Amino acid sequence: MDHGVRAVHATARTRLPMVSDQLIARCIREEPKAQYELYRVLHPLLMGICTRYERNRQDAVARMNQGFLKILTHLADRRPEVPFELWSRRIMINTVIDDHRRQKQRKAHETLETPPDRVDLAEVNSYLGRMEVQELERMLDLVPAMSRQVFNLFAIDGFPHAEIATLLGISEGTSKWHVSNARNILQQALARAAAKDRARTPSR
């Protein structure tokens, strides 16, 4: 299922236009027009990341602006061999994680009160292959905050459990539990959506 979730986001992901060395140099010199141009170019990428991690647009915008400021601040420190999109993405993700950890508004442990129900994984994966990224993001809102955060890092952004544990100050076992919890909730939501879709589709 993780591969399907990642594929939905990869298909919808907006690729950055080429960011020239000249534009970066002008931003390092703190030219306002260049900084605005870089903001305009980065906005879809950064906002897409923040929307996945935050539950409302106001928080997403605030986090995006924090991340962009960090990008501007550290432009001169970027190693030229590191792709600019990858570098910007990592700074944005780290900004979101740092803010969650600093404010301590997220629970590090949550209890799964009900055992996972059995679902038709073939039907779930088939529906997942047809769904839009916006629908998947709505389903992610059903996942408790900490589990959603860990699932985003692991299943979508490709972080290993060891790195997630270090970032969030949890054990690798807890990281794996949150991924499992998120998978179960998403599978149930996908199964319900797939069943509704099947009911709407006339049989041949």
Q: Looking at residue 157, what is its pLDDT?
A: 87
Residue 182 has pLDDT above 80, yes or no: yes
Q: Looking at residue 189, what is its pLDDT?
A: 80
Nearest residue to 26 (alpha-carbon basis) of 18, 36, 15, 16: 36
pLDDT in tens, 5-32: 555 555 445 566 678 899 999 999 999 9
Between 176 and 115, residue with greater pLDDT: 176
Between 61 and 116, residue with greater pLDDT: 61
Distance CA 156, CA 57 (A): 20
Between 62 and 7, residue with greater pLDDT: 62
Please report, for residues 36, 141, 150, 151, the alpha-carbon distance to residue 43 in angstroms, rounded to integers and kept in the order given.
10, 22, 23, 23
Q: What is the mean pLDDT of residues 95-115?
A: 61
Binned at pLDDT 50, 70 and 90, residue 188 comes out as confident
Q: Looking at residue 114, what is its pLDDT?
A: 44
Lowest pLDDT segment from 18-32, 81-95, 101-115: 101-115
150-161 as b/e: b if 16+ CB within 10 A? bbbbbbbbebeb
Q: Looking at residue 112, what is its pLDDT?
A: 44
Q: Looking at residue 139, what is its pLDDT?
A: 81
The letter for the amino acid at 185 is: I
Distance CA 53, CA 47 (A): 10
pLDDT in tens, 109-119: 444 444 445 54
Mean pLDDT of the chain: 79
Q: What is the mean pLDDT of residues 133-145?
A: 79
Domains and CATH numbers, the chain: 13-103 (1.10.1740.10), 121-200 (1.10.10.10)
